[in-house]
A and B are shown apart, each in its own frame.
Chain A
């Protein structure tokens, strides 16, 4: 069908574009790859060097307090973390946690300002919304390809791919949260002579805080879900045993690593939720 149209070389174009970007922006990618990569590995190593029981203690005590002095999450965290340690996955857990933390932090640093921009300008919203849709509907694997092209393999490309995949909820929820602030409150801020920045920081962001945190919670969960996928490009962590179990059809090892990821997910989810559900 349509044989009269020659095949359009879209793939070639993208290849060329990627090559061009890699060469042109090498001055950005290389230090990111090297320095930032070293930094992240250093954090992961540091966390790995801390005796596990200290980290367990911090997490459990933290869980007790952020859930309003209830024992549920604290007990779950204790059992879950001991289980992971017991299965010999502690170092992997620390790597994964570092990766998720970094990816989430960067997502927030990028996502919140973009969300603010969107909430302030109809034009920006009209441009950014379809991009977000695109970012979220694209299969996550696809991001690994440019990530590898830019940063070769390891943690940095993993974080890069997570960033693209996990940022949209933070952007969307920030935009939504600010737009939801009632007209009357915005008028009140303006009527008393607030500047744009005063209105943003003294009214809109505090009002939108809960909604933004809900978005960040989703971002963290998405970043975590990227972990297994990022293992395919050599990012260390809990995804690795899953990938190798997949390759060797070891159901047991895969299951144990999978459970560990779920435990981490639940703990991180409850931690981030407790921040925005406080009031």
Chain B
């Protein structure tokens, strides 16, 4: 179900808004309108929907209107035209009081340069959203601390922003946004000011948090790698319009036009796509509940010759083969432990395809994709090759 529905949203900066809109109707370009009326088209008739729990990335070159678009969504910038429906309410038409309510309860924003108040401690910064709602000091401190702990900054509450590194400051920005438990996170180039390694950590951390939070996230970036890593879907903007919306793979494999193509042509798929992009949902059996019988059954249903074994917390234990399982059944062995094989080929979620290539040819079973001990997915040889070639069935949402 869409949480955010944007319809025909436009922003024209300038004094001749009416004329400019008319020119837009006539299909005139941003530059032509600038010449004719002196107005800048920030966003041009943009429509899209974002679903609950989705990470929706908006990408585009500098000046393409990304920041304007995200600010139209929480109305930091007044729309010239169009509607922004959040849970069925149109923010564009709302009075001030309702707008404040929605901003307090449903939408939080994370800023490129963190937007922290330098004279407030980390805790006071994280509390800000709760404070303006008039929530009691103790309760807001508690919630803010929880949020800070979620981003790993539980012990920095008394520090001031300038005592923290960039990455940590942005965690505070994230904690402030999470503290009032919003449905929607708006992130404008949230990681762009960080250096590459920290940036990657933050991306991982966001994905990890997202795994448990299931927020709806609109994330802006001008960096394709970042978009591909974290986006469930990506919208590409040019001159204020959206040129293409699709999953990372659709964007890579079916660029809608030359602009998108140029955007993606430099991407070496094997470097950009990671294990998490190409993995499939694994069939598993639970070692605490299931025996060889169930394992065999499952393998037969799915047409597999082996199956992964996990415990109740989805920690990877090993795998069993169909042959072993049917032997075990004949011998009436009840415990999977006795036929468990532990020589599992394992890769972490963010392992680039490039490095998986070497493994894929000489493993008898699919490669397990793990996050720490937890089994997240499997990589099968066939679909791996398809992804490398930039076509075929590829999944990122396992």
Tell which of A184, A193, A195, A198 touches B112, judged by Cβ atoms closer than 8 Å: A184
Say yes or no: A192-B76 contact (C-beta < 8 A), given A184-B111, A187-B115, A198-B132.
no
Say yes or no: A188-B104 contact (C-beta < 8 A), given A193-B133, A202-B131, A203-B117.
no
Q: Does A245 contact B (CB under 8 A)?
A: no
Within 8 A of B (CB), among A170-221: 184-185, 187-195, 198, 202-203, 206-207
Say yes or no: A202-B132 contact (C-beta < 8 A), given A191-B103, A192-B103.
yes
Q: CA of A189 to CA of B103 in the docked complex: distance in angstroms?
A: 11
Say yes or no: A193-B119 contact (C-beta < 8 A), given A184-B113, A187-B111.
no
- The minimal Cβ–Cβ distance linking B147 to chain A, given in whole angstroms, is 13
Q: Does B128 contact A (CB under 8 A)?
A: yes
Q: Report whether A185 and B132 are in contact in the complex, using a CB–CB cutoff of 8 Å.
A: no
Q: Does B200 contact A (CB under 8 A)?
A: no
Q: CA of A203 to CA of B118 in the docked complex: distance in angstroms?
A: 10
- The minimal Cβ–Cβ distance linking A230 to chain B, given in whole angstroms, is 38
- The minimal Cβ–Cβ distance linking B310 to chain A, given in whole angstroms, is 41
Q: Does B22 contact A (CB under 8 A)?
A: no
A191 contacts across to B, CB distance below 8 A: 74, 76, 103, 107-109, 186
The proximity string for B residues 112-154 relative to A, scoring 1 for CB distances below 8 Å and 0 otherwise, is 1101111100000000110111000000000000000000000
Closest to A203 in B: B117
- The minimal Cβ–Cβ distance linking A53 to chain B, given in whole angstroms, is 38
From A187, A192, A203, name the one whose CB has the most chain B CB atoms within 10 angstroms.
A192
- The minimal Cβ–Cβ distance linking B159 to chain A, given in whole angstroms, is 15
- The minimal Cβ–Cβ distance linking B208 to chain A, given in whole angstroms, is 24
- The minimal Cβ–Cβ distance linking A207 to chain B, given in whole angstroms, is 7
Q: How many A-B residue pairs have CB under 8 A?
A: 59
Tell which of B71, B108, B116 touches A192, judged by Cβ atoms closer than 8 Å: B108
- The minimal Cβ–Cβ distance linking B353 to chain A, given in whole angstroms, is 37
- How many residues on the B side are at the interface (Cβ–Cβ under 8 A)? 27
A195 contacts across to B, CB distance below 8 A: 100, 132
A202 contacts across to B, CB distance below 8 A: 117, 128, 131-132
A207 contacts across to B, CB distance below 8 A: 117-119
Within 8 A of A (CB), among B19-50: none
- How many residues on the A side are at the interface (Cβ–Cβ under 8 A)? 16
Closest to B99 in A: A193
Q: CA of A189 to CA of B113 in the docked complex: distance in angstroms?
A: 14
- The minimal Cβ–Cβ distance linking A177 to chain B, given in whole angstroms, is 13
Q: Report whether B132 and A194 are in contact in the complex, using a CB–CB cutoff of 8 Å.
A: yes
Q: Report whether A193 and B104 are in contact in the complex, using a CB–CB cutoff of 8 Å.
A: yes
Q: Report whether B109 and A193 are in contact in the complex, using a CB–CB cutoff of 8 Å.
A: no
Say yes or no: A187-B128 contact (C-beta < 8 A), given A192-B108, A193-B133.
no
B334 contacts across to A, CB distance below 8 A: none
- The minimal Cβ–Cβ distance linking B350 to chain A, given in whole angstroms, is 30
- The minimal Cβ–Cβ distance linking B289 to chain A, given in whole angstroms, is 46
Q: CA of A173 to CA of B101 in the docked complex: distance in angstroms?
A: 33
Q: Report whether B111 and A188 are in contact in the complex, using a CB–CB cutoff of 8 Å.
A: yes
Q: CA of A16 to CA of B302 in the docked complex: distance in angstroms?
A: 103
From B104, B112, B132, name the one whose CB has the most chain A CB atoms within 10 angstroms.
B132
Q: CA of A192 to CA of B128 in the docked complex: distance in angstroms?
A: 8
Closest to A196 in B: B96
Closest to B130 in A: A192
Q: CA of A9 to CA of B112 in the docked complex: distance in angstroms?
A: 62
Within 8 A of A (CB), among B76-119: 76, 100-104, 107-109, 111-113, 115-119
Q: Report whether A188 and B109 are in contact in the complex, using a CB–CB cutoff of 8 Å.
A: yes
- The minimal Cβ–Cβ distance linking B122 to chain A, given in whole angstroms, is 15
Say yes or no: A187-B132 contact (C-beta < 8 A), given A192-B104, A195-B100.
no
Q: Report whether A193 and B76 are in contact in the complex, using a CB–CB cutoff of 8 Å.
A: no
Q: Report whether A187 and B112 are in contact in the complex, using a CB–CB cutoff of 8 Å.
A: no
The proximity string for B residues 361-381 relative to A, scoring 1 for CB distances below 8 Å and 0 otherwise, is 000000000000000000000
B128 contacts across to A, CB distance below 8 A: 188-189, 192, 202
- The minimal Cβ–Cβ distance linking B239 to chain A, given in whole angstroms, is 23
Closest to A209 in B: B119
- Starting from the known contacts A184-B112, A190-B76, 15 additional A-B residue pairs (CB-CB under 8 Å) come to A184-B111, A187-B111, A188-B109, A188-B111, A189-B128, A191-B76, A191-B103, A192-B132, A193-B100, A193-B102, A193-B129, A194-B100, A195-B100, A202-B131, A207-B118
The 5 closest A-B pairs by CB, nearest first: A193-B104, A188-B115, A193-B103, A191-B109, A192-B129
Task: List 18 A–B pairs whose Cβ atoms lie within 8 Å, in order of A's numbering.
Answer: A185-B115, A188-B117, A191-B74, A191-B76, A191-B107, A192-B109, A192-B128, A192-B176, A192-B180, A193-B100, A193-B103, A193-B104, A193-B132, A194-B100, A195-B132, A202-B131, A206-B117, A207-B117
